Amino acid sequence: MKIFELNYKSIFLILVFMLAIVSLYGCGKSDLDGKKFNVIQNNKLDATMEFGKDNELIVKSAQGKYNAGQEFRGQYQLKEVDGKQFLLLPKMDREILDIQNFGYQTVEIDNLNSKDKKDWYVYQLEEKDNKFFMYDLTIKEGKADKFKDVDDLNMLEIQKDHKVNSILEPKTE
């Protein structure tokens, strides 16, 4: 009888351990991993964006543009702070995707201040009707001198005009 109890406990421990691994793996995966999107700006397709494993980002200029198919590769970050999702995109050639059109649009993290020594554009994501809306951000009043890095995302807010920079629509192939 003692041997049966030991085996029962061992099986139970193995099941608990496997469940913990599966739930930890699932928690680490973002809503964007492995997905492709059409990037809509000003009601027209400007590029496609693919979010791969290990935060890999591939952005391609849309068909119909003079540089159609031109590609940018880099890394992205998706952070959740106070129930809000923030998308951090690297600076890229504006000919591929002009997310900072006409100068200042959203908050930037400068590589001189960031821990990882990278430049980032920061957007707040909001999911509606299976689309992701990228909102331009500003630093909250009185926080401009304190905002420096990814750890300070709670100091950001959507710009007063609630301007949508881009819409990410799922790409159907």
Question: What are the pLDDT digits (tens) for 110-165?
Answer: 765 556 667 888 999 999 999 999 998 989 988 888 888 888 899 999 988 877 88
Q: How confident is the model at residue 22 (pLDDT cuts 50, 70, 90)?
A: low
Asked if residue 159 lies in contact with residue 134, where contact means CB atoms within 8 angstroms, the answer is no
Among 83, 172, 81, 75, smallest CA distance to 130 is for 172
- Both tokens of 61, joined, read 């200029």
Among 46, 34, 37, 59, smallest CA distance to 131 is for 37
Q: Is this structure's pTM higher than 0.85? A: no
Asked if residue 127 lies in contact with residue 84, where contact means CB atoms within 8 angstroms, the answer is no
C-alpha to C-alpha distance for 56 and 77, rounded to whole angstroms: 9
Asked if residue 87 lies in contact with residue 78, where contact means CB atoms within 8 angstroms, the answer is yes
Please report, rounded to a whole number, the percentage of residues in the chain having pLDDT higher than 70.
76
Longest dimension (CA), the chain: 77
